[in-house]
Chain A
Amino acid sequence: MKIEVLGTGCAKCKQLEKDVYNALAELDVAADVSKVQDISKIMAYKVMVTPALVIDGEVKVAGRLPRKEELHKYIKGE
C-alpha cells in the first residue's frame, strides 16, 4: 500500500503524517508512507486544500484531519 500525505508544511499536515504512522502501528499494517510538499505535485491530485490523504493514488480526504476511526477505515481499505 502506498500512502501519501499532501501538505506544504502546515501544522495540520504534520499532524496528519503523525496520525498516519500511529494508525499503521495500531493496525499493524505495513505501508510505504511519503510526504508530498511540492505544490505542483499536490495540484496534480486536484487538491486545493491541504492537508490531504492519498492512498494508492486515490484522494481520500482533503482540507481537514480525518478522525481516528475514519483513518483506520481508509487504511484497512473499507
Chain B
Amino acid sequence: MQFILTMLQGGVKEIISYLSAHVITCLVPAFFIAGAMAVLVTKGAVIKYFGSQAKRWVAYGVASVSGMLLAVCSCTILPLFAGIYNLGAGLGPAITFLYSGPAINILAIALTGAAIGWHMGLARGIGAILFAIIIGIIMSLLFRKDEQKRLGDIESLPEEQSEKSGVFLVLFFGVMVAILIISTSKLAPWIKIALDLSLINSLAIMVHHYFVEGEFRSWMEETWSLVKLVVPTLLVGVFLVGMVTAVLPPEWISGYVGENTLGANFAASLIGALFYFSTLTEVPIVKGLMDLGMNQGPALALLLAGPAVSIPNLLVVNRIMGFKRTAAYFILVVLMATLTGWLYGYFFA
C-alpha cells in the first residue's frame, strides 16, 4: 500500500513540476510556432531542394534543417524519407532527413531546454544537425556502388495557399521565437509581460495585413491539433516517469550510467535506439533518469539516439531501403550517439 502511494505521489509531483510556469511559457509559444510552420511554409518550396536535380550539398543542408519546418509528427517523416530516397536526391540526403526530422523539431528542442536546461537543448539541436549530415554522407559513401534506380521524379503540385515572401516569414517567425525566448528568460515578470504584449501586438498587425482569408483559422486549427496530439501522451509519460522514479533505487541508475564512460554512453544510446518514444516523451524520461543520477553525457546520447530510431520505425525503413542499409544506419546512429554523448560529457559536464 505504502509502495503504491509513493508511486502515485511521485507521478503527481512530476506532473505538477511540468505544469509549472517555465515549462508552460515555453511550450505554448512553441506550439504556435509549429502550427504556423505547418500552415505557412509551403512544402513545395522546401521539397524542390530534394529533387534529383538539386545540388548535393544543398540537399544535405536543407535535409538537415528542414525537419524543423516539416515534421512535427513522426508520421510525416517516413513518406518524405521514402520520397527523397526513391524520387529525389537519393540515399545520403534521405538519411540526413530521416535522422534530423524528429530530433530537431521546435517542440522537442523547446521542451528539452525548459525541462532539462538550455545547454542540453542547444547541444541536442546542434548535435542533431551535424550528426544527421555526417551519417548521411557516410551512408552514401558506404553504398555508393549500388545506388538504387529511381522511380521517377517528384511530382510538383500547385499550392493553393498564398506564398509569403521570405522576408515576411523570417520576420514573422523571428517575432514568435523572440516571444518564446523572452517568456522563458529570467527578466522581471512585468518587463516580460510588457515585451510579450508588444510583440503579440506586432504579430496581430502582420496577421491582419498579410494573411489571406482562412489562413489565421488554419493556423489556430493546426496549433490545436498539435496540442491534442502531443499533450495527452506527454502528460501520461510524465506521470509514469514520476511513478517509476519515485520507487526506483537511485543506485541502479547511477551504477550503470552515472559516470561518463564509453560503456555508459553506449548503453544509453542502444536503449534509446531500440525503444519507441512517443513524441516528446523522451524528455521527461531523460529528465527523470538525470534526477536519479544519470550523467549528462549518456543523457545526451539517449536524446540523440532515442526519437530518431526505434524498432517500429526501423521496420518501415527496412522495407524502403533494405536490410543492409537499415543495419548500417542503426549501427552508425548508435556509435555516433555514443561518441557525441561521451565528448559532451567530457567537455561540458
Q: Which of A10, A39, A47 contacts B316 (CB 8 A)?
A: A39
Known A-B contacts A66-B160, A70-B160; the reply to A48 vs B73 at CB < 8 A is: no
The CA-CA distance from A40 to B79 in the complex, in Å, is 9
A40 contacts across to B, CB distance below 8 A: 82, 319-320
Task: Please give the number of chain B residues whose Cβ is less than 8 angstroms from any Cβ of chain A in the complex.
Answer: 32
Asked whether A45 lies within 8 Å of B319 as measured between CB atoms, the reply is no
Closest 5 CB pairs of A and B: A48-B83, A10-B75, A46-B155, A63-B43, A50-B79
- Output the least CB separation between A42 and chain B (Å): 6
Q: Does A49 contact B (CB under 8 A)?
A: yes
Asked whether B157 lies within 8 Å of A62 as measured between CB atoms, the reply is yes
The CA-CA distance from A71 to B84 in the complex, in Å, is 28
Binding site for B on A (CB under 8 A): 8-12, 39-40, 42-50, 59, 61-64, 66-67, 70
- Output the least CB separation between B290 and chain A (Å): 31
B83 contacts across to A, CB distance below 8 A: 43, 46-49
Interface-side segment among B102-110, B146-154, B194-202: B146-154
- Output the least CB separation between B341 and chain A (Å): 31
Known A-B contacts A49-B43, A49-B80; the reply to A43 vs B75 at CB < 8 A is: no
Asked whether B84 lies within 8 Å of A48 as measured between CB atoms, the reply is yes
A sample of 18 more A-B contacts (CB under 8 A), given A62-B157, A66-B160, is: A9-B75, A11-B73, A12-B225, A39-B78, A42-B82, A43-B87, A46-B83, A47-B79, A48-B50, A48-B80, A48-B83, A49-B47, A49-B76, A49-B80, A50-B79, A61-B157, A63-B157, A70-B160
Asked whether B319 lies within 8 Å of A10 as measured between CB atoms, the reply is no
Q: Does B166 contact A (CB under 8 A)?
A: no
What is the interface of chain B mostly: helix, strand, loop, or mixed?
helix
The CA-CA distance from A11 to B161 in the complex, in Å, is 21
B47, closest chain A residue (CB): A48
The CA-CA distance from A50 to B159 in the complex, in Å, is 14
Q: Which of A8, A44, A70 contacts B151 (CB 8 A)?
A: A44
The CA-CA distance from A59 to B87 in the complex, in Å, is 16
Asked whether B75 lies within 8 Å of A46 as measured between CB atoms, the reply is no
B319 contacts across to A, CB distance below 8 A: 39-40
- Output the least CB separation between A56 and chain B (Å): 16
Asked whether A46 lies within 8 Å of B153 as measured between CB atoms, the reply is yes
Contact digits for B71-105, partner A, Cβ 8 Å, 1 yes 0 no:
00101101110111011100000000000000000
Known A-B contacts A11-B225, A61-B157, A67-B214; the reply to A46 vs B80 at CB < 8 A is: no
